Amino acid sequence: MNNTKIIRAIGSVDDELIERAYPKISAVNKRSSIMWLKWAVLAAACLALTVSILVPLLNNNENTGDDFDLTMSSGVTVKYIDDPPQNFASFSLVGLTEEELFSDWAGAERVIFEGVIKKVDNIVISLSPGSLWYNAIAHIEVDTVYHGDIEPGEVITVLLPSPVGKNEVYVSDSRVSSQMTEGTKGIFLPIRYNENAVLSEESKNVLYWQEVAKFGLGDGERHAFLDKPDGVVFSRWAYLSIVDFEAVEGAPTMDEIRLYVISMVEKYR
């Protein structure tokens, strides 16, 4: 996978940094390129947002259908898949402060809510004959809304950076999202996709993410707190001030996580 393809996924970092690192990148839309290249680096550098697993496969005819209504996209197919192939992908996360993790990105709305995952579907995206991306879509029923234009009882779709339920599929920095299985409760911080969120290859094949899912995670590590039987699963290193809410340091309960999230929303939203 080359760096140009990764950067076009979706992300959010400094404009100057992007220009310096990828001076030859062309965008689908000149007006919106920097905005969504920024989110792409976030997404890409970590797994890079939708860090899916980009797998070059030659002469592969498996993805011949299209299970999604892609009226805006072109030259792309998206299918549900039961058995993603074995893969390995490694990336480096872009550093983000706690304030940034609770803020909007590149003009895209971040929603913050508590809910339960009703089901998860693995998918494969065929961007070109030689490039397949493997992701998952979580269907999450909203319970309590802490921020954003969503309603309790609503079921929203969230694109995950890698397949779920496949131990042989490894994507770095997806420890949290890979545990987003059916029935899991948690607090989630996805970004709402808009018309600027695109995946493209050489400005000809274009996928609008909002035609696949309404929301997406900036990476698979820092945008959810999962209530699991053995304790809350989250990236402790990314949320350092959570210690102020813990009765026992190093072992926050979901109630303590909830108080922390509410305090951050009040502070930064």
Task: Establish if 249 belongs to a structural domain.
Answer: no
Q: How far apart, in whole angstroms, are the C-alpha atoms of residue 183 and residue 57?
A: 34
Task: Give the HSE-up count for residue 41: Cα atoms under 13 Å, Cβ half-sphere.
Answer: 21
Task: Establish if 232 belongs to a structural domain.
Answer: no
Q: What pLDDT is recorded for position 162?
A: 84
pTM attached to this predicted model: 0.74
Which tokens go with 249?
């340091």
Q: What pLDDT is recorded for position 83?
A: 79
Phi/psi of residue 237, each to 5°?
-65, -20
**What is the per-residue burial (b if ≥16 Cβ within 10 Å, else e) of 137-147?**
bbbbbbeebbb
Q: How far apart, in whole angstroms, are the C-alpha atoms of residue 233 and residue 254?
A: 10
Domain count, the chain: 1
Which tokens go with 85?
């192939």
Task: Establish if 269 belongs to a structural domain.
Answer: no
Q: What pLDDT is recorded for position 173?
A: 72
Q: What pLDDT is recorded for position 167?
A: 59
Task: Establish if 126 belongs to a structural domain.
Answer: yes
Task: Establish if 252 belongs to a structural domain.
Answer: no
**What is the per-residue burial (b if ≥16 Cβ within 10 Å, else e) of 73-93?**
beebbbbebeebbebebebeb
Q: How far apart, in whole angstroms, are the C-alpha atoms of residue 32 and residue 47?
A: 22
Task: Establish if 23 belongs to a structural domain.
Answer: yes
Q: How far apart, in whole angstroms, are the C-alpha atoms of residue 87 and residue 128?
A: 18
Structural domain of 154: 3-221
Q: What pLDDT is recorded for position 91?
A: 61
The candidate with the shortest Cα–Cα distance to 86, out of 157, 17, 170, 152, is 170
Q: What pLDDT is recorded for position 127?
A: 83
- Residue 216, C-beta contacts closer than 8 angstroms, at least 6 positions apart: 10, 43, 49, 50, 158, 159, 190, 191, 193, 197, 209
Task: Establish if 268 belongs to a structural domain.
Answer: no
Cα–Cα distances (Å) from 38 to 157, 193, 240, 256, in that order, read: 23, 14, 24, 32
Residue 259, judged by CB atoms within 10 A of its CB (0-12, 13-18, 19+), counts as middle
Q: How far apart, in whole angstroms, are the C-alpha atoms of residue 96 and residue 181?
A: 26
- Low-confidence stretches of the chain (pLDDT beneath 50): 1-65
Task: Establish if 255 belongs to a structural domain.
Answer: no
Q: What pLDDT is recorded for position 113?
A: 98
